[in-house]
């Protein structure tokens, strides 16, 4: 009537369930990892503050805040981490395959861009190497590599989804351990 055609959703395959399991594992890891990245950034701030003689209070606050966020994230993801429930099938296999193809390049490019930004800020900013600025640059320098790790780990979950899902199915059977 309105030019729309009714389409039926395709039947899920084993790969759709494996992809849903990979999404679940990615969510579980990311739920605590972002807080850990803030804490690691705070640790870099504290170390740079110790070297430059600047006050490390901001870095200590980042460590406490990041650790608290990581703990809350871990607790929030506990039900998904320990579930034995079969995941709902994910139907976005083409998007996952695209992520597997491009994520490594995205990580490399983002690390290069972040290094260039930090280097430019240190060299060209009027106070780029001042004792109160160096800890900020150190804290920023931690972000791209750790986010890159998270992206690459997610990519690995996606690319190894079939064997990981099969192993999880085997392990969830009663008496399999």
Using one digit for the tens of pLDDT, what is the confidence trace for 50-108? 999 999 999 999 999 999 999 999 999 999 999 989 999 999 999 999 999 999 999 99
Q: Does residue 2 form part of some domain? A: no
Q: Does residue 121 form part of some domain? A: yes
Number of structural domains, the chain? 1
Q: Does residue 6 form part of some domain? A: no
Q: What angle do CA 135, 140, 142 make, to 5 degrees?
A: 105
Q: Does residue 3 form part of some domain? A: no
User: Mean pLDDT across the stretch 147-157?
Assistant: 95
174 by Cβ neighbours in 10 Å (0-12 / 13-18 / 19+) ranks as exposed
Range of the domain at 139: 14-162
Q: Does residue 8 form part of some domain? A: no
Judge whether 39 and 63 are in contact, CB under 8 Å.
Answer: yes
Return the structure tokens found at 72: 């809350």
Q: Does residue 60 form part of some domain? A: yes
Q: Does residue 175 form part of some domain? A: no
Judge whether 41 and 66 are in contact, CB under 8 Å.
Answer: yes
pLDDT at residue 110, as a whole number: 95
pTM of the predicted structure, to 2 decimals: 0.84
């Amino acid at each position: 009537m309105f030019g729309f055609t009714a389409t039926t959703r395709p039947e899920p395959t084993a790969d759709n369930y494996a992809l849903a399991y990979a999404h679940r594992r990615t969510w579980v890891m990311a739920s605590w990892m972002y807080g850990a990245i803030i804490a690691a950034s705070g640790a870099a701030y504290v170390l740079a503050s110790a070297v430059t003689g600047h006050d490390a209070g901001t870095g200590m606050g980042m460590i406490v805040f990041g650790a608290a966020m990581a703990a809350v994230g871990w607790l929030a993801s506990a039900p998904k981490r320990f579930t034995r429930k079969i995941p709902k099938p994910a139907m976005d296999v083409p998007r996952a395959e695209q992520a597997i193809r491009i994520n490594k390049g995205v990580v490399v490019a983002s690390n290069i861009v972040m290094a260039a930004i930090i280097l430019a800020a240190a060299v060209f900013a009027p106070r780029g190497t001042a004792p109160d600025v160096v800890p900020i640059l150190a804290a920023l320098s931690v972000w791209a590599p750790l986010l890159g790790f998270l992206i690459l780990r997610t990519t690995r979950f996606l690319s190894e989804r079939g064997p990981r899902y099969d192993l999880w199915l085997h392990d969830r059977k009663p008496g399999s351990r």
